[in-house]
Structure 1
Amino acid sequence: MHIEFFRDYCLSLPGVTEDTPFDEDTLCFRVGGKIFAITDISSFESVNLKCDPEWAVELREMHSGIVPGYHMNKKHWNTVSCDGSVPQKLFVELTDHSYFLVLKSLPKKTQAEISK
C-alpha cells in the first residue's frame, strides 16, 4: 500500500476532506467533519481506522498487522500496518468500514447532503 493510492482512495469517497490538524505530518481524512482515518505522511507505516469493537478484536487475532489504535480509543480504533501484512483488499474494506461507521454517526440531514 502506498500513500498516494490510500489518499486518492479516501478522497474518492463522497464528502471526504483532508487536513493536518495536529502537525504537518499527521494527515487526517474526515467525513462530515469527523475523522475516519489518520496516518503519518512522512513514513506511512500505518493507518488508524475506526472499527466495530467486536470485529476489531477478531481482526487483531487474525492479522499481526492489525493492533489496537495507537493514541486512540483501543476499543473503537485499529492501527493497520502498511507493510503488506494486511492484504490491500482488506485494507480498502477496513477503510470503507471506518468511513461508513463515521458517516452513520452523523445527523441524518448531513448524511443526506453527503449522499447526494
Structure 2
Amino acid sequence: MDLETFRNYCIQKDHVEESLPFDEHTLVFKLNNKMFALVSMREERKNACNLKCDPERAIALREQFMAVEPGYHMSKKHWNTIAFNEDVNDHLIYELIDHSYDLIFKSFSKKVQKELSK
C-alpha cells in the first residue's frame, strides 16, 4: 500500500471529502464532517494510516499484527495506526478502511443515513 493508493480508495467512497484540517502534512478523510481515516504526508510518517475501529476488533488486530498499534494522536480505544507494507496486506487495509467508513456511517441518525444513501 502507498499513499496514493490509500487516498484513491478513500476518496472514491460515497460523500467523502478530504482536507488538511490540522496541518499541511496530515490528510484527513471525512464522511459528513466526521473523520474515518487519516494519513500523514510527511516523508518519515507517510507509510502509515489511522483508521477508526471497533474497540474489540482493534485489540485483536494489535495482538495479531506487528504493524497495528494504538492510534497515533487519536483515541487509543477507537483508532489504530497501521503501517503500510509490513505484515498487514493491502486487502485487509481495504477492509479496515471500509470498516472505519461503516462505523462512521452507522453513527449517524437514520435520517442522515437515508440522506447519505441517496
Into which bin does the TM-score normalised by the smaller protein fall?
A: over 0.9
Counterpart among 95, 105, 110 of residue 107 in structure 2: 105
Q: Matched residues, percent identical?
A: 49
Query: What displacement does 1:54 show?
Result: 0.4
1:76 and 2:98 are equivalent in the alignment = no
**In the alignment, which residue of structure 2 is the partner of 1:10?**
10
**In the alignment, which residue of structure 1 is the partner of 2:58?**
56
Q: Which amino acid aligns with 1:82?
A: F
Q: Which amino acid aligns with 2:66?
A: S
Query: What displacement does 1:70 show?
Result: 0.7
1:52-109 residue CA offsets vs partner (Å, 9 max, x unmatched)? 0001110000000000001111010000111332100000000100000011101222
Structure 2 distance, partners of 1:48, 1:41, is 12
**In the alignment, which residue of structure 1 is the partner of 2:92?**
90
Query: What displacement does 1:3 show?
Result: 1.1
TM-score (normalised: structure 2): 0.93
Gaps of 5+ in 2: none
For the aligned residue pairs, the C-alpha RMSD in angstroms reads: 1.0
Gaps of 5+ in 1: none
Contact 1:32 1:110 in 2 (8 A): no
1:67 and 2:69 are equivalent in the alignment = yes
Structure 1 distance, partners of 2:3, 2:114, is 29
